[in-house]
Amino acid sequence: MTLPTSMNALILKEDGFGNTRTGSAIETLEPYLDYGILPVPKPGPGEVLIRVRMASVNPSDLYFIKGEYGQPRVKGAAAGFEGVGDVIDGNGLFARYLKGKRVAFAGAVNGSGAWAEYVVVQAATCVPVKKAMRDEDAAGHVVNPVTAWTMFDIVKQSKSKSFVFTAAFSQLGKLMAGLARDNGYAMIAIIRKQSQEAHLRELGAKHVLVQSDPDFDTKLAALMKSEKPRVLLDAVANQVSADIFSAMPARARWVVYGKLDTEAPALNEPGQLIFMNKKIEGFWLVNWFKRASMLEKLMTIRAVQNRFISGAWSTEVVATVKLEDAMRELPEALKLGDGKVMIKP
Ligand SMILES: NC(=O)c1ccc[n+]([C@@H]2O[C@H](COP(=O)([O-])OP(=O)(O)OC[C@H]3O[C@@H](n4cnc5c(N)ncnc54)[C@H](OP(=O)(O)O)[C@@H]3O)[C@@H](O)[C@H]2O)c1
């Protein structure tokens, strides 16, 4: 098959970091991206060229294009961290083994990105996808499901059979709800919209608290007594999060893994860090990938794929936007809420 020399892509307009802290909300893509043409990237040693089938849109992508994420932008490169596609070329033994296979990927190289027709990634980071897995599940297979699986280990290590989870109707929250129920843990899910409560309970959350409920504090305090959660898994990091942490029992850990709210929280009870042995820390999947052994990674990937194939997990997609329409349609699609948005070349 002859490869084209150029491709369509959503291209970053700026370099480095931005000086805003506006979060993942997007009104328009114009300041950050152009829809345009790039050369088809060439795989270097140990790399593969993938024809993208579908790419996911995660909050991290949105922070990144604005220059608000933990790694700098490269002007002129394609955006998009994660997706699924077919390996069509590669350099090196493993790369050649992957040729013709459908793979999930996260983290492109050589100025390429997932929001494009073609992407180059390191062969070693590709995850061959079993036939029975849907593209919708495979496109978001690495970042959120692996994060859910590894953060659930933090809960298991806490020696409490419960945990608190904010932004619980996120894809990650939905995955955690299933893991909690299937392993006999009580998830105390915190959400903003009452309309999401019933579905979250169906997915496995034992308790669901709506932030705007006038009895929120009383209900939370009662759950702290009855369930004694020791871990707060938090992607919001605002005052609600800080107050939940203050209400938690001794030895509680506040694990911040996202910053969905732009508010800077105040820690009203810092003495708890001293006298109640409470701790505040961060979690970033990138560090887990650096730290975990190859065996641990393979076992995690296999467990994650099996959960999707068995139907224990499913990616709830609210919209699929064509790459060529993304500049116009993506911001509106993201406002639909309650599920993932995908981009399809
Ligand atoms: N550290 C890591 O390694 C790592 C890995 C994966 C993901 N993450 C983080 O995990 C988080 C969830 O990712 P996802 O892909 O699962 O998200 P998602 O499916 O896109 O859902 C986003 C959720 O965030 C909620 N939200 C947005 N702004 C909020 C605010 N100010 N207060 C409370 N809730 C808010 C939304 O709630 P509504 O439904 O009420 O609108 C929605 O449920 C993100 O912050 C992402 O960056 C971190």
The structure tokens 């140990």 sit at 46
pTM, full prediction? 0.94
Ligand 1 pocket residue status of 258, Cβ below 6 Å: yes
Q: What is the rounded distance in angstroms from the CA atom of residue 258 to the CA atom of residue 148? A: 13
Q: Which atom of ligand 1 is nearest to the CA of 144?
A: 6
Write the residue with the smallest CA distance to atom 30 of ligand 1.
261
Q: What is the rounded distance in angstroms from the CA atom of residue 205 to the CA atom of residue 199? A: 9
pLDDT for the residue 111? 84
Ligand 1 pocket residue status of 315, Cβ below 6 Å: no
pLDDT for the residue 86? 98
Write the residue with the smallest CA distance to atom 42 of ligand 1.
170
pLDDT for the residue 109? 86
Strands 186-191 and 207-210: parallel
pLDDT for the residue 165? 98
pLDDT for the residue 24? 87
pLDDT for the residue 318? 97
**Digitized pLDDT (tens) for each residue of the chain, 345 residues in all:** 688 999 999 999 999 999 988 888 899 999 999 999 999 999 999 999 999 999 999 999 999 999 999 889 999 999 999 999 999 999 999 999 999 999 999 988 878 999 999 999 999 889 999 999 999 999 998 999 999 999 999 999 999 999 999 999 999 999 999 999 999 999 999 999 999 999 999 999 999 999 999 999 999 999 999 999 999 999 999 999 999 999 999 999 999 999 999 999 999 999 999 999 999 999 999 999 999 998 999 999 999 999 999 999 999 999 999 999 999 999 999 999 899 999 999
Q: How many angstroms separate the alpha carbon of residue 92 from the centre of ligand 1?
A: 37
Q: What is the rounded distance in angstroms from the CA atom of residue 331 to the CA atom of residue 323? A: 13
